[in-house]
Structure 1
Amino acid sequence: MQKYLSLLLMACFAALAATAQPRIITGTVRDAATNALLPKVVVRVKGGSPSAITDAKGAFRLQVPAGPVRLQALYSGYNMQELLVNDGATEAHFRLQPAMLLQEREIAQQRKARLVHDMAMHSAPGVAIAYAERRMAPPPPAFNTEDYSPVNENDFHAVTDQPLSTFSADVDRASYSNVRRFLNSGQLPPADAVRVEEMINYFDYQYAAPRGKDPVAIYTDMAVCPWNPAHQLVRIGLKGRTVTADKIPPSNLVFLVDVSGSMEAPNKLPLVKHALKTLVQQLRPADRVAIVVYAGAAGLVLPATSGSEKTTILDALDKLQAGGSTAGGAGIQLAYKTAAENFLRNGNNRVILATDGDFNVGASSDGELQRMIEQERERGIFLSVLGFGMGNYKDNKLELLADKGNGNYAYIDNFEEARRTFVTEFGGTLFTIAKDVKLQVEFNPKFVQAYRLVGYENRLLQNEDFNNDRKDAGDMGAGHTVTALYEIIPAGARPNAVNWVDPLKYQQKSVISQDSHEVLTVKLRYKQPADNHSQLITQVLSYRQQDMAQAPADFRMCAAVAAFGQLLRNSAYKGQASYDQVLALARGAKGGDPEGYRSEFIQLVKKAALLQL
């Protein structure tokens, strides 16, 4: 009997020992919004030990004690997640929620409550939505993978060495509204997010419309440079022909909407819907709209539908929901295929892409996307890009796509910006009046010792590109204005005003007469939208001495915005610029300001000044 009792005890001890053996738990950690696998996430038993770290593929392997255990996953920018792993289980899979999304959901609930109140006070829902969105901007994200191309500021060039300056026109204004988003959320923008020319071109300037056969007119002016009174500031303005809505050709539009998990936030897909709905309200029966979406895969949500069937189009937009990864390349391919199937020979054929730019599945390299878009551009299908959101915003990729697609690029940070893009400037957004617009400026050494182009760093061209009709350049829409500023060092200034290269030995003397008062000559080339050969326009600027205080209001506003951009960038060329100087210039140039954009600029300058303290 004692023998059997001993055997039973030994069996019990063996069973207890077996159950007490530690076990291995394997699993993965993913982003709940994008489904992306997350590397370097700490996975631990609750209490702190033992722990493991996920590898490059988001996988982990952790030895844990026997019995039920609670595992925790911790990652910067995400909320901690806790999972109960039952006795005998060998796998655990985490889906971490970005902290930003939870914050934005709270903001969305607050906005919704305000909208209910505001819509009771205002007769127009659009007014209530815009009012509520302006009252409270979303908070800065808890993590940041935003991406911007580097901006290497233009230097001064000696006219005797480089008398020509050549660049592509740029009507984009995404940088300004993106900078506004940062400042309204209590942050200074990254330096590379500040493209000075896009900030300048955000504002409307009262240039006269062209009167002749050319669709673009050139205007020039000069005054003392406000941030360096020893220098002059030259303004070159372009104005595109205005086309009334009834004269705009029919449009074949494809809305290409990113519905991946990264678009879930209130300032992304919900704002996309509001933006596109404002455009739908402007459509005519002759216009057609199709809707393509992409996430883990791409799909056609709505075939080409007449603009008269607004309810059908709006219902399709309302049903869009975010989720999955981002097959951006596949989405663009399907959108272009849809546009080609409904091509209007004498119409406006355009894909309108709405995304945060976070392509991570499929044809996502810049080279692949660029070649695809360039091929479709040659067929007459253009691409406009609308950027949304924060935290993972890919500004560099979206700017490239719009540039190569002969379209414009806008960042939509609130409903008011959507209204401006698709209501106030409907024609300019959708109807191109001139493509491949290039400028070349020749400076006269009699008046100009050196010059620098303010902004346009990523729009510079080789001098030889100006007469090359195969070289792509910027495009102008109906009624668009383009403004460029040059800071010039007058002839006769101290010789070491800039870092000179050695003088050239074989250069001929200037052919300009000493009696000439020409400071510079502006040459502009453009193509009609359906042509492959360019037309040439020229304009001469004669010397004049003018204090900035006596310059036209639009010129003073340009100078204020340029100085502000250089301050935000902490530019090496900001000279004596200050926030007080910017405010003084902008206040004096505000004028009637019917849309309130200049008043808003003044408030942004005040915010930036406080953030610099």
Structure 2
Amino acid sequence: MKLLGYMGMFFLVLGNLYAQQIKITGKVTDEQNLPLPGVNIIIKGTTSGAQTDFDGLYTLVAKAGDILMFSYVGFETKEVQVSSNSSLINVNLKASSSALEEVVITGYATTRSRRVVKHSIASSTISKRKRRKSKNQTGLRGHVAGVHISKAPKLSSTNAIKIRGISAISKAEQPLYIIDGVPLDGKDINRIRGIDPAKISKVEVLKNANASALYGAKAKNGCVIITTHSGNYNVDNHESYKEIVENDFKQVQIAPLSTFSIDVDKASYSNVRRMINNGNKIPSDAIKIEEMINYFDYSYDQPLEEHPFAIHTEYASTPWNKDTQLVKIGLKGKEIPQKDIPASNLVFLIDVSGSMSDANKLPLLKKAFTLLVQQLREKDKVSIVVYAGAAGVVLKPTSGAYKNKINQALQSLSAGGSTAGGEGLKLAYKLASRNFIKNGNNRVILATDGDFNVGMRSDKDMKNLIQEKRKSNVFLTCLGFGMGNYKDSTLETLAHTGNGNHAYIDTMQEAQKILGKEFGGTLYTIAKDVKIQVEFNPSIVKAYRLIGYENRLLNDEDFADDTKDAGELGSGHTVTALYEIVPIGSKSSYVKEVSNLKYTNASLDKNYTNELLTVKFRYKKPKEEKSIKIEHTLTTSKFDKVSQDFNFAASVAWFGMKLRNSKYIKNQNLEDIITLANKNKDKDNQGYKSEFVRLMRSYQDL
């Protein structure tokens, strides 16, 4: 009996020991004690685990008695048993002497090493004759060991692909599919059947722990790697844009104030231009009218007073609706000569994931950045951070005097792997903060298609990250590249949250504009958190609506709240906003009658009968947190005394509304829009306004 009692106590203690949850942290290094990022730590016999960050650090929860498996490509797998006091486990991995010869490993380095994991990869190059016989993935059957492809029932057009040794686990579990270096989300798996077998060059299969070692927990069920002849196969168009709900008319007696943040972004115009030139359908949410208007230069006078921008207002009849009037509000930022711009601490954060392999992505990006490098001065310094499956430093802070060294680092980059954008942003901000220049121009320049598929992925997660990082007084510029999976919404969110700007580069011409001609405005902020609040005079204006800026609207009380974020104004930038107004006495089907108020009696002040509106501005100096307020009044005496700038901006807004199928334009005639733009495109030294006219004619022919 005593023996049974002892045994019971033994098993009770043992059970408590093994049930104990322990939070384990540690660092994984190589034989030179250098940190290893991306090491997979798996609890043996489970799919639970973690991965090391850029500094080789990890955190996970395990039980006493668990065995941790540390695996990394090119190194021997190491097993460590967890004990009751194993809160810190540091591991040193040894390089494998016999495993590797033939798999491409890409990530944060500037060079590539080709290796193979023994017994983990089955590979087949499909001959042309065999491809001609194939009509779908079943053409791969028999060519790759361990791959079983079965014909689906007649009601489904999808073939089932399973890897030997995996299908026994669960019929619902699928391997990770990677096409030309791009991992596919679960929602895309069925689209693999749409790949033309004639386009497939090679198929590789990774099984067991080796799949997880290369591609993380997503590959726990194995991995099918498909390489096409083009090397840049796109499964589908996954471009995304934030929803835009067009601004409606508001009645002045009920809502006399209109408040919004400025927006100097220009991405929408160049993106729309790309779609028209390619003959693509334009998603309505891709059309941000304020960004189209602000793409162009206007002949606004420079500021003469102490404020960093000048204010210009004018109004006239609306060209697309004879019953309304159009008001233009323009800002002109002070132009700072390049030699007078403070020393710059720039971190180029470059996406080198597989989705960036297209000619209009990383190859264009590298050429575009050489334009920026040419303008750097000796007192400026540049660092380069890249990210794919992990993030890393390619170029430590380097003086602008060493342009060849910076360009060589850029040209050495190549694309491949998944997209850990969140890790890249963290590392870039860390580097920028470490090399911060007091009273200088400190900025991260993110260049990507915005397709983040590892780690942080949602716009909300990214916004929260940048809100924290912007406290460092490091600004953010986002440059979008490419098509097919361009994530405009993500880049817009990052730029707005990071006290920065957003542009889309589709050609070297656009690169020259953004990184060459407008270098100062793109990279040097002269005023931050710039807000506009317009108060309309109810004795003259019945109703109004702001054209565009739907994603930049603010509450009226936000205007005086210095904690509320708003847009930034760069050196030499112009900002233009248009309001369509319905004058008192004019009837409009857009303005609905509202019942009389019982408790509020709004009386009109007779002293301001010649004032149409008052526009108020608040801004902060780049290094300060208290805003400065200025005001400007537009009187009725200026009606119809308008400039060519007014008419050209109106033509751009008119075309943008037509593209969006706006319910607020009565005249839909494209030829009238072209005529208005053509008559008012003087002072077009760079030819952008003439290009706009040609673009509208191209759209007319679609």
Deviation at 1:53, TM superposition (A): 3.3
Aligned equivalents of 2:222, 2:200: Cα separation in 1: 10
Alpha-carbon shift at residue 426 of structure 1 (Å): 1.1
- Aligned residue in 1 for 2:104: none
Equivalent residue number for residue 162 of structure 1: 255
The separation in 1 between residues aligned to 2:460 and 2:202, in whole angstroms, is: 45
CA RMSD, Structure 1 to Structure 2 (Å): 2.9
Q: Within the alignment, does 1:551 sit opposite 2:660 as a pair?
A: no
1:590 positional shift: 1.1
User: Structure 1 residues 85 and 321 mapped into 2: Cα distance closer, same or farther (>3 Å)?
Assistant: closer
Q: What residue is the counterpart of 1:236 in the other structure?
A: 329
Aligned with residue 654 of structure 2, among 560, 563, 578: 563
Q: Which residue of 1 aligns with 2:160?
A: 53
Tell me how far 1:165 sits from its aligned partner: 0.3
In structure 1, the partner of 2:91 is: none
Q: Deviations over 1:17-61 (max 9, x none)?
A: xxxxxxxxxx999xxxxxxxxxxx974357997343358865399
Matching of residue 324 in structure 1 with residue 417 in structure 2: yes
Q: Is 1:44 aligned to residue 138 of structure 2?
A: yes
From 668, 675, 693, the equivalent of 1:577 is 668
Deviations 1:73-123 (A, max 9, x none): 97366332679999xx999964345798668xxxxxxxxxxxxxxxxxxxx
C-alpha distance in 2, partners of 1:609/1:265?
A: 29
Contact preservation (8 Å) 1:448, 1:491 = yes
- In 2 relative to 1, CA 57–399 (structure 1 residues): closer, same or farther, beyond 3 Å? farther
Rounded to whole Å, the distance in 2 between the matches of 1:601 and 1:60 is 45
Distance change in 2, residues 1:494/1:331 (3 Å): same
Shift of the 463–347 alpha-carbon distance from structure 1 to 2, 3 Å rule, reads same
For 1:101 and 1:609, the matched residues in 2 are separated by 35
- Tell whether 2:374 aligns with 1:281: yes
Corresponding residue of 1:590: 681
Match of 1:44, SS state, is helix
Do structure 1's residue 377 and structure 2's residue 484 form an aligned pair?
A: no
Out of 180, 185, 195, the position equivalent to 1:78 is 195
Partner of 1:336: 429
1:221 aligns with 2:351: no
Q: How does 1:474-489 map to 2 (within 5 A)?
A: 474-489=567-582
**Mapped contact 1:567–1:578 kept (Cα < 8 A):** no
Secondary structure, in 3 states, of the residue corresponding to 2:322?
coil
Answer yes or no: is 1:348 the counterpart of 2:441.
yes
Work out the CA distance in 2 between the residues paired with 1:512 and 1:305: 62
1:488 CA drift (Å): 0.4
Partner residue in 2 for 1:4: none
Task: Report how far residue 242 of structure 1 moved.
Answer: 0.8
For residues 512-568 of structure 1, what are the alpha-carbon distances to aligned partners after superposition, in whole Å with 9 as ceiling and x for unaligned?
326621000000000000111000110101114755xx6311001100000000011
**Displacement of 1:378 after TM fit?**
1.9
1:495-510 pair list within 5 angstroms: 497-510=590-603
* In 2: Cα distance, 1:305 partner to 1:336 partner: 16
Q: CA deviation at 1:423?
A: 1.3
Aligned with 1:362: secondary structure? Answer: coil
Taking structure 1 as reference, are residues 28 and 351 closer, same or farther at Cα in structure 2, changes over 3 Å only? Answer: farther
Bigger Cα displacement from structure 2, 574-583 vs 424-433: 574-583
TM-score computed with the length of structure 2 as normaliser: 0.70
Q: Which runs of 5+ in 1 are unaligned?
A: 1-26, 30-40, 62-72, 104-140
Equivalent residue letter for 1:53: A
Q: Does 1:492 align with 2:585?
A: yes
Displacement of 1:369:
1.9
- Whichever residue aligns with residue 560 of structure 1, its letter is S
Q: In structure 1, what residue type is equivalent to 2:160?
A: I
Q: What is the rounded CA distance, in whole Å, between the counterparts of 2:451 and 2:661 in structure 1?
A: 29
Kindly report which structure 2 residues correspond to 1:293-312, keeping only aligned pairs within 5 A, or say none: 293-312=386-405
Q: Is the 8 A contact 1:28 1:58 kept in 2?
A: no
State the 1:573 CA deviation. 1.3
Correspondent of 2:627 among 534, 545, 552: 534
Structure 1 match to 2:691: 600
Instruction: State the Cα distance separating 1:143 from its structure 2 match.
Output: 2.5
Secondary structure (helix, strand or coil) at the match of 1:229 reads: strand
Task: Give the partner amino acid of 2:698.
Answer: K
The residue type paired with residue 315 of structure 1 is Q
Residue of structure 1 equivalent to 2:533: 440
Contact 2:532 2:615 in 1 (8 A): yes
Whether contact under 8 Å (2:137, 2:193) holds in the other structure is no
Residues 308-349 of structure 1 deviation map (CA, whole Å, 9 limit, x = unaligned)? 010110000010000000010100000001101100011000
Among candidates 468, 473, 480, match of residue 561 of structure 2? 468
| Equivalent in the alignment of 1:399 | 492
Q: TM-score, normalised by structure 1?
A: 0.80
In 2, the alpha carbon distance for the partners of 1:421 and 1:83 equals 38
Residue by residue, what CA displacement relative to the aligned partner does 1:229-256 show, whole Å, maximum 9, x if unpaired? 1100000001111100111000000000
The alignment partner of 1:466 has SS state of helix
**Do the aligned partners of residues 533 and 561 (structure 1) sit closer, same or farther apart at CA in structure 2, a change above 3 Å counting?**
same
1:176-198 Cα deviation digits (max 9, x unpaired): 00000100101231100000000
Label 1:415 to 1:196 Cα distance change in 2 as closer, same or farther (>3 A): same
Among 354, 373, 388, which residue is 1:261 paired with?
A: 354
Deviation by residue 1:260-291 (Cα, 9 ceiling, x = unmatched):
00000000001111111110000000000000
Residue 99 and residue 474 in structure 1: after superposition, are their counterparts in 2 closer, same or farther (change >3 A)? farther
Amino acid at match of 1:59: P
Corresponding residue for residue 205 of structure 1:
298
Distance 2:502 2:275 in 1: 18
- The question of 1:450 aligning with 2:543 is answered yes
Distance 1:98 1:568 in 2: 36
Contact 1:446 1:514 in 2 (8 A): no
Flag the structure with more relative contact order, 1 or 2, with Cα contacts below 8 A and sequence separation at least 6: 1
Distance 2:283 2:543 in 1: 29
Q: Judge which range, 218-227 or 370-379, deviates more.
A: 370-379
**SS of 1:205's equivalent?**
coil
Q: Post-superposition shift, 1:366?
A: 2.4
* Equivalent residue, structure 2, for 1:95: 225
Comparing 592-601 and 507-516, the one that deviates more: 507-516
Deviation of 1:376 after TM superposition, in Å, equals 2.1
Give the direction of change, closer, same or farther, for the CA distance of 1:169–1:93 in structure 2 (3 Å limit): closer
Which of the numbers 498, 511, 515 marks the counterpart of 1:422?
515
Q: Bigger shift: 384-393 or 358-367?
A: 358-367
Sequence identity (%): 51
* CA pair 101-521 structure 1, distance change in 2 beyond 3 A: farther
**Counterpart in the other structure of 2:79:** none
Instruction: Tell me the residue number matched to 1:270.
Output: 363
Aligned pair in 2 of structure 1 residues 56, 394: CA closer, same or farther (>3 Å)? farther
Distance 1:513 1:84 in 2: 80
Which sections of structure 2, spanning at least 5 residues, go unmatched?
1-120, 124-134, 142-148, 153-158, 162-170, 178-189, 209-220
Q: Aligned partners of 2:553 and 2:452: how far apart in 1? A: 27
Cα 1:328–1:518 change in 2 (3 A) is same
Letter in 1 for 2:653: A
Does structure 1 residue 177 correspond to structure 2 residue 265?
no
Deviation at 1:496, TM superposition (A): 5.5
**Secondary structure at the residue paired with 2:394?**
strand
Aligned-partner Cα distance in 2 for 1:84–1:577: 52
SS in 2 for 1:230: strand
> Aligned equivalents of 1:339 and 1:386: distance in 2?
18
Contact 1:78–1:99 (8 Å) recurs in 2: no
Q: How many residues align?
A: 523
Give 1:387's aligned amino acid: G
- Aligned residues of 1:78 and 1:98 also touching (Cα < 8 A): no
Amino acid at match of 1:79: D
On the 8 A contact 2:203/2:225 being kept in 1, the answer is no
Distance in 1 between residues matched to 2:269 and 2:554, nearest whole Å = 23
**Which residue in 1 is equivalent to 2:88?**
none
